[in-house]
Structure 1
Amino acid sequence: MTRTDCIFCRIIAGELPATVVHQDEICVAFRDINPQAPVHILVVPREHFASLDEATPERRETLGHLLVTAARVANAEGLTEKRGGYRTVINTGPGVGQSVFHLHLHVLGGRPMSWPPG
């Protein structure tokens, strides 16, 4: 189901353009239009739910699939541990930077990153 008010649902439906690097029956991964690193890819479930706060036991398979896909995408982009690795991030809520309220996982790499983030 496409939510017309959700930019990620519209990208998934093909209504808005995106540079897709992976897609399957559970998720779509595409390049962020405002990258915060040389590689910045979003991994988004096809099912719309606003944030990790809406995770349920029924969504366990989807959430695990997002993580496995993030690792596959990162490695396909050359972000292996030997090349510096990568960071995965899920922001939950506007106070920590979530600006699109469709759960998504950021895959960032290609530059040194400090800790703590932000």
Structure 2
Amino acid sequence: MSAVQKPRVIKNYEKLDEETIQGIKLAYPEGFSQHLIRFRDVDGRLNSGLPFETDEKYYFIRMTKSEALLIIDDDDDYDDDGNLLDEARETYEDNLDVDEDDADIADADLLDPDDVGLEEE
């Protein structure tokens, strides 16, 4: 018997729904740039993105390091040092009904950059 695999999708950060963005903020409370994965696509182009897993999907959110830094810098939920504010964290945990431990993820285990099963969404 084989396990059902979650869909794996590539998506731009700006196109994510608010609930997914809140989950990402909880998973990466100290910013995104240090968690980016870099890989070459089938055409040999260098890509980078942020892995994120929900109950339904594995996401690979397209972004460069400079975009990741800009997103955090422009987001009022993060302080000047790039850390998620406690108030935002508590609000999102309540909205998503998660325990603090559930928000932590091991990003290295989320997506294999060589996985060809990613789909544009």
Query: Would you say same fold, with TM above 0.5?
Result: no
Higher relative contact order (CA 8 A, sep 6+): 2
TM-score, with normalisation over the residues of structure 2?
A: 0.30
TM-score, with normalisation over the residues of structure 1?
A: 0.30
The structure carrying a bigger helix percent of its residues is 2
